[in-house]
Amino acid sequence: MKTAKDPRHLERIKAIKELFAQSFATQSNSSVLTKKVLKKKASLDKQISVAAPTWPVDKLNKIDLAVLRLSVYELNFSKTPPKVIIDEAVELAKQYGSENSSSFVNGVLGTIYTDLKKKVK
């Protein structure tokens, strides 16, 4: 069960804060997870733009974009169950984003997850 002190939860919070800061200026001291996400930024942004075609990536709320990049990275490259990743992303969006962030993040990640499942079959 996830708690506020769960190390994975704390690592994700740190990563979205670093990704958020990175959207304004290059940061020199980033965590390993953040660096991994940033290396894949172009492909992650492409998946996000396909899943949310009416919202260009450069127009998205910066914190929503940080949550989405981290979550899409995890959906593609981690062994964490997708439902856990999406649930965590929705919770982070509720905590740090705007009033509509959680439903937006949930919808985008749901679309990406569905697309990934189709590719596996």
Q: What mean pLDDT, rounded, does the chain reach?
A: 93
- What was the pLDDT predicted at 116? 86
| Residue indicated by tokens 């649930």 | 87
Predicted TM-score (pTM) of this structure = 0.93
Question: Looking at residue 121, what is its pLDDT?
Answer: 62
**Which of 30, 49, 96, 39 lies closest to 73 in space, CA to CA?**
39
Residue 100 structure tokens: 């509509």
How confident is the model over 71-101, as pLDDT tens digits?
Answer: 999 999 999 999 999 999 999 999 999 999 9
The CATH number given to 7-120 is 1.10.940.10
Angstrom distance (rounded) from CA 119 to CA 88: 23
